[in-house]
Amino acid sequence: MADQSLNKSKINLAVLISGGGSNLQALIDACAQPDYPARIAVVLSNKADAYGVERAKIAGIPAHVITHKDYADKTAFESAMLDILAGYDIDLVCLAGFMRILSPHFINAWQGGRLINIHPSLLPLYKGLHTHQRALDDGQKEAGCTIHYVVPEVDSGEIIVQKRVPIIKDDTAETLAQRVLEQEHIAYPQAVERLAKAMLAQ
């Protein structure tokens, strides 16, 4: 468990990924700024071929692959992740395109606002998958992304930061996803900065 009073100048992040890791990269780039109040202590991926693992290695960040298929059940998989995180004095866990639904076993280990997620919609709209296509199908005028605290109900925790983009004529799920992703890369470092400053000020 991390210190209650954080006698340090930066908080330690764990970033959990399953894929390309462009949000991880946005956090790596933010953390490279000297005044940014966080550093990435470790990256976990549940996919061995996730490009985000390469991004971590290039940045000199320890990266662990924990393949959920190697474990008998979700509790065993989550326990393996918790065991690794226990070695890194983690203050805040950031889910960044991590495509496994976490159980209370994992979530409850990070009580006190220490587990956050990025979701590519304007929550509470479009929880779950295929957010961009669903927004287009509904004729929405705008879309966006949300950083939120993680609670056992999927995509439902308190909102920390939200960014909006317009939906424009002839948008496809792909063009809209790209426009939203650009905002994700701004939103995640902003949210982490805000939470880190609050933790360090405690």
Q: In the complex, which residues of this chain contact ligand GRF (CB under 6 A)?
A: 17, 19-23, 52, 96-97, 118-120, 181, 184
Q: Which is nearer to ligand GRF, 53 or 90 (CB)?
A: 53
Residue with the CB atom nearest ligand GRF in the bound state: 97
- Contact between 143 and 167 under an 8 Å Cβ cutoff? The reply is yes
Burial class (CB in 10 A: 0-12, 13-18, 19+), 159: middle
Q: What is the DSSP letter of 37?
A: S
**Catalytic amino acids?**
119
Q: How far is the CB of 188 from ligand GRF (least distance, A)?
A: 8
One-letter amino acid at 151 equals: V
* Calpha distance 172→188 (Å, rounded): 24
Q: Which is nearer to ligand GRF, 41 or 96 (CB)?
A: 96
Among residues 158, 163, 159, the alpha carbon closest in space to that of 142 is found at 163
Q: How far is the CB of 72 from ligand GRF (least distance, A)?
A: 26
Q: How far is the CB of 51 from ligand GRF (least distance, A)?
A: 8
> What tokens were used for 14?
């764990």
Q: Which is nearer to ligand GRF, 6 or 181 (CB)?
A: 181
Tell me the β-bridge partners of 17: 45
* Calpha distance 104→115 (Å, rounded): 12
Q: Which is nearer to ligand GRF, 20 or 152 (CB)?
A: 20
> What tokens were used for 193?
């900065």
> What tokens were used for 108?
């409850």
Q: Which is nearer to ligand GRF, 91 or 184 (CB)?
A: 184
Q: How far is the CB of 119 from ligand GRF (least distance, A)?
A: 6
- Contact between 14 and 199 under an 8 Å Cβ cutoff? The reply is no
Q: How far is the CB of 43 from ligand GRF (least distance, A)?
A: 11
* Calpha distance 88→123 (Å, rounded): 31
